[in-house]
Chain A
């Protein structure tokens, strides 16, 4: 188990370590030469400006929606609650395709900002809604009884209770924007990720791409550190003590009820309605066209195959890590679990680039094979798989197995009748989630796929880039359908929490 966990940890850090080694090998002079250019400064300011604008917009939109849905008498608030989570089911490049196909000359900074805001405000909405629903209303009542007015209570107590959730959501959005490739490439807004992809795709300036990637990694790690810090501090805001919690009081919106409901409907129209209408229109065109279904079937088959491989590899690597973390003792299991999160939040593009270089220079037989692609998926989504395995393993505590053995069953019999039945459903769900996530991954797939092999994601991107919107529509529809499954599971859990 320990050996397996060590192997998984090694796989998880390989791309990152290799990236740093290659960058260092280029020599500091070369790095400085690449780094200190107006182009890098321009790319950095573009990426950061986009991140700042999108994060601000998402904070306002996400936290505002959460407050309206959880704490007010907004008409149809449950319905708006579900609508606000659904954009998670639309990958940015799919939303990008829908908007470009619907609106002429949809490109540039504001197009990218609009797309990313509409796709990622659920990252703020979901944690804030959960925090508002979970916050103890007794704290607000105490504040009121101590003589604070409603406004002072909102700013002094409620906002402080949800501050960790707001901060975590905002940082997630910022991470998401920095690592996004789909939306910015389709709207032709040149950020770090687009520049890296272009450098690699055109086959020159590998060092430039490596240096840019390293800068992106540094930015990402800084944001991740920020997110972890807020999460750790957030724990202290939790409720102390036990006992049943009662429902928070609802604020009366009065005359604002319908205008606010109208505003949320407008947001929902932009984030879901426009893509849906555009997709439907292009689908009708696409179906009337000559038979594209054969190609779609081939791409879907490829997607399924590489994603299944990626999911299998992820879970295989995650099993020893998750089990070791739950069952092992000492500092090593926890450390290995944290190491397996190395790919968490890193742009798929950076992992892809590092593995391209790794494939070309170290393991050439694997370069441009599905194995390499599956490996990239495993690095990117190992955290997701480890989380599932960890949660599943916790379902079968060692105490249960001890009791089972004391009743006269052999270790193998106990494993078969207790451990497997209790952990298998969780692990299977985790594998399915990883597989769906692999299917949506665009950047890493574009960089690592074997020559001539197209998946749903790459076909959609290629056809949209070429302006073949009708041809792209079936791929977009399939991807939305696939992404809807995990989102549905998430929304259902969230919905239960709210009601």
Chain B
């Protein structure tokens, strides 16, 4: 198993620049998520890594080996496509064994990886006899079977319904860990990226705008766009003085140098309904059961949102509440 290093990758399709100097490093055995909206270039990046698309310039190294000029079959980079793309004419065992050397196809490796993804004993089934989630598990097993140094996952859960997705994410993360594989997951779902990845690279317009551990990207986003893309964000104009941000919500601790006019970030879960504090009016409540998102307006017209756990009692539009902020505000560049 080995690390991945992507150095200043560029790719243009005619006038459109799909990848603009992309640099990314993934240490051995880790899972990195490339997170971005559709059209940001993340699928192009994955296709370049796999060798399905040639790059204009830059280098791709897997475990120190330069694979930039190699055809896909020489790279030893396995792919789990969006819809599984199982070979419809082969049974599950033959699908999984497809990438193994001829001598190993009858050995125990296929059964081993099938067990790893929770499908022990399914070898004789045909792909069309499996559910969508099972097909995706087989696709992961097929990718892991030849012990590739690197596995690429292309939005592998997007075609599945929500309940199945969470379970499959956990199982597949566990299977990847058990095999010690280095992996890159491409997704537009920030929840998926946060819950599965050791590190996240946020992509926009063909560039990686921020990368780091999920907690860092969520807690200290590089800019307002990233803050909004990786979660709900309350952005407030503020003046920072002596480690305190002066905002419409009052004074909030803010570990940053003094600035006269800045924007600070507060997450909705930091906004609490309290007995006393800044007065606000409830405009709408989005009730989710385990929590609720309140859309609020301060008396000076500032709009913001608050996440309330438990969500009880239900709030009605027009209700007056008092707000307090927990924790720190983040200064955005």
Contacts and interface: CB of A to CB of B under 8 A. Distances in A.
Interface string B65-92: 0000001111111110100010111000
B74 to A, nearest CB: 8
Contacts of A404: 87, 98
Nearest to B72: A405
A403 interface: yes
A400 B73 contact: no
Given A402-B50, A402-B52, A402-B72, A407 B87 contact: no
Contacts of B73: 405-411
Interface in B125-147: 142-143, 146
A103 B52 CA distance: 68
A422 interface: yes
B27 to A, nearest CB: 22
Q: Give the residue among B76, B77, B78, B87 with the most A Cβ atoms within 10 A.
A: B87
Q: Give the residue among A397, A408, A422 with the most B Cβ atoms within 10 A.
A: A408
Given A418-B87, A422-B88, A422-B89, A406 B75 contact: yes
B184 to A, nearest CB: 13
A238 to B, nearest CB: 23
Contacts of A408: 73-74, 76, 99, 146
A406 B52 CA distance: 9
B51 interface: yes
Interface in A397-438: 397, 399-400, 402-411, 417-418, 421-422
Given A406-B51, A406-B75, A410-B73, A399 B85 contact: yes
Q: Give the residue among A399, A402, A407, A409 with the most B Cβ atoms within 10 A.
A: A407
Contacts of A405: 51, 71-73
Contacts of B79: 402-403, 406
Interface residues of A, number: 18
Interface string A366-410: 000000000000000000000000000001010110111111111
B150 to A, nearest CB: 10
Interface in A155-177: none
Q: Give the residue among A395, A404, A411 with the most B Cβ atoms within 10 A.
A: A404
A411 B50 CA distance: 15
Interface string B311-327: 00000000000000000
A395 B81 CA distance: 17
Q: Give the residue among A405, A406, A408, A421 with the most B Cβ atoms within 10 A.
A: A406
A404 B143 CA distance: 10
B50 A407 contact: no
* B contact face: mostly helix, strand, loop, or mixed: loop
B98 A399 contact: no
Nearest to A422: B89
Given A403-B79, A406-B77, A421 B71 contact: no
A474 B326 CA distance: 95
Contacts of B51: 405-406
Contacts of A422: 87-89
B85 A407 contact: no
Nearest to A407: B99
Nearest to A404: B98
Contacts of A421: 89
Contacts of B50: 402, 406
A407 B87 CA distance: 12
A428 to B, nearest CB: 15
A253 B77 CA distance: 65
Contact of B72 (A397, A400, A406, A418): A406
Contacts of B98: 404, 407, 409, 417
Contacts of A410: 73
Q: Give the residue among B71, B74, B89 with the most A Cβ atoms within 10 A.
A: B89
A403 B89 contact: no
B234 to A, nearest CB: 38
Nearest to A414: B73
Nearest to A417: B98
A175 to B, nearest CB: 37
Contacts of B146: 407-408
B87 A400 contact: yes
A421 B91 CA distance: 13
A85 to B, nearest CB: 29
Q: Give the residue among A397, A403, A418 with the most B Cβ atoms within 10 A.
A: A403
Contacts of A409: 73, 98-99
A405 B74 CA distance: 9
Interface in A471-485: none
Contacts of A406: 50-52, 72-73, 75, 77-79
Contacts of B143: 407
Q: Give the residue among A397, A400, A402 with the most B Cβ atoms within 10 A.
A: A402
Interface in B85-107: 85, 87-89, 98-99
A330 to B, nearest CB: 12
A403 B85 contact: yes
A397 to B, nearest CB: 8
Contacts of A411: 71, 73
A407 B88 contact: no
Contacts of B75: 406
A397 B84 CA distance: 13
A202 B3 CA distance: 82
A492 B72 CA distance: 43
B78 A399 contact: no
B190 to A, nearest CB: 26
A421 to B, nearest CB: 5
Contacts of B74: 408
A405 B81 CA distance: 13
A272 B77 CA distance: 62
B37 to A, nearest CB: 22
Contacts of B76: 408
A405 to B, nearest CB: 4
7 nearest interchain CB pairs? A407-B99, A405-B72, A406-B79, A405-B73, A421-B89, A406-B72, A402-B52
Interface of B: 50-52, 71-79, 81, 85, 87-89, 98-99, 142-143, 146
22 contacts: A395-B88, A397-B85, A399-B81, A402-B52, A402-B72, A402-B81, A403-B79, A403-B81, A405-B51, A405-B71, A405-B72, A406-B77, A407-B143, A408-B73, A409-B73, A409-B98, A409-B99, A410-B73, A411-B73, A418-B87, A422-B88, A422-B89
Given A402-B50, A406-B78, 11 more contacts: A395-B88, A399-B85, A404-B98, A405-B71, A406-B50, A406-B51, A406-B73, A406-B79, A407-B78, A407-B98, A407-B99
